[in-house]
């Protein structure tokens, strides 16, 4: 337990992920823009800091999971950013789903300071974060990955080293592209069952165990059946991820029409002011398009 850990970002995912490290007995310094969201962690023993720069001064390994690429850039490269005070030979680990190009930029700027950088986005939502069962996709130097692996194992069960800097973020984009289309299928499947008069829980129980079984139907389907559209993963963050994937695809001269279609549905949700619903909130949008009041 000789390493002091830093943690920045204590939202829906980050709070639970940080809690696993605290429960393992590590000393953790924490920062979040809204202190109230870190209250539970502080009560567990986390040390509150006033800025990312202050967290960086104290730690050997620093984790971040914030909202958007601009937030990542501010946390690492801003006036009060991590790279202003991070100690030489420390390791920084960004677990935000962000732009591969930004991960690469942070990696190279950190390397000039003698600091190792990993991009390590996650998948599994709030349930995976709470249960320590996340999938974690890591890019960066293998030596840094091996040092941080015990901490990844506290947070997830499917831990994969994907290669050089940016590789973790590219893998997460593949993940989000698949989920985007799968969510459309999940929503349309349950809307069809609803309109036909079926019991949604019974439908999910049957088809979730067959060839149509997937994470979305088995985890988000029951929430939809209960009318629970609270965020395990915000619509606004999913829109951000899809936008990154479409941008990267364009740079590679790659056409992804299915992703582009899913993106339009979620943009409609944003236009209706529903950006803070969970991604399963698309059920309300497609229901509205079909005259179904949900």
Q: Is the pLDDT of residue 2 over 90?
A: no
1 — pLDDT class (breaks 50, 70, 90): low
Minimum mean pLDDT range among 29-33, 95-99, 209-213, 227-231: 227-231
Residue 161, pLDDT score: 98
226 is catalytic: no
The topology (CATH level 3) of 5-164 is Rossmann fold (3.40.50)
Where do the domains of the chain lie? Answer: 5-164, 170-289
Residue 294, pLDDT score: 77
pTM of the model: 0.89
Find out if CATH 1.10.1040.10 is the number for domain 170-289.
yes
pLDDT tens per residue across span 27-75: 999 999 999 999 999 999 999 999 999 999 999 999 999 989 999 999 9
Active-site residue identified among 15, 53, 130, 172: 172
Residues in a beta bridge with 64: 8, 94
Strands 134-140 and 116-119: antiparallel
pLDDT tens per residue across span 231-281: 888 899 899 999 999 999 998 999 999 999 999 999 999 999 999 999 999
């Amino acid at each position: 337990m000789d390493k002091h850990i830093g943690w920045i970002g204590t939202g829906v995912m980050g709070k639970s992920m940080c809690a696993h490290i605290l429960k393992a007995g590590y000393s953790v310094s924490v920062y979040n823009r809204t202190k109230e969201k870190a209250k539970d962690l502080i009560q567990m023993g986390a040390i509150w800091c006033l800025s990312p720069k202050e967290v960086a001064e104290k730690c050997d390994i620093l984790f971040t999971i914030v909202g958007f690429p601009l937030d990542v850039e501010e946390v690492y490269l801003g006036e009060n950013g991590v790279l202003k005070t991070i100690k030489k030979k420390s390791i920084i680990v960004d677990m935000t789903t962000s732009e591969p190009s930004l991960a690469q930029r942070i990696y190279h700027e950190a390397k000039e300071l003698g600091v190792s950088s990993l991009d390590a986005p996650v998948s599994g939502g709030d349930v995976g974060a709470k249960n320590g069962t996340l999938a974690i996709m890591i890019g960066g130097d293998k030596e840094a990955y091996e040092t941080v692996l015990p901490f990844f194992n506290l947070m997830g069960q499917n831990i994969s080293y994907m290669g050089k800097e940016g590789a973790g973020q590219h893998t997460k984009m593949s993940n989000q592209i698949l989920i985007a289309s799968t969510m459309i299928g999940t929503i349309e499947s349950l809307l069809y069952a609803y309109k036909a008069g079926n019991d949604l829980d019974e439908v999910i129980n049957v088809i979730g165990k067959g060839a149509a079984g997937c994470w979305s139907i088995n985890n988000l389907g029951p929430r939809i059946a209960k009318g629970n559209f609270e965020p395990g993963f915000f619509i606004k963050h999913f829109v951000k991820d899809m936008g990154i994937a479409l941008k990267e695809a364009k740079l590679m001269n790659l056409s992804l029409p299915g992703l582009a279609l899913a993106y339009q549905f979620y943009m409609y949700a944003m236009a209706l002011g529903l950006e803070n619903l969970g991604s399963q909130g698309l059920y309300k949008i497609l229901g509205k398009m079909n005259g179904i009041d949900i």
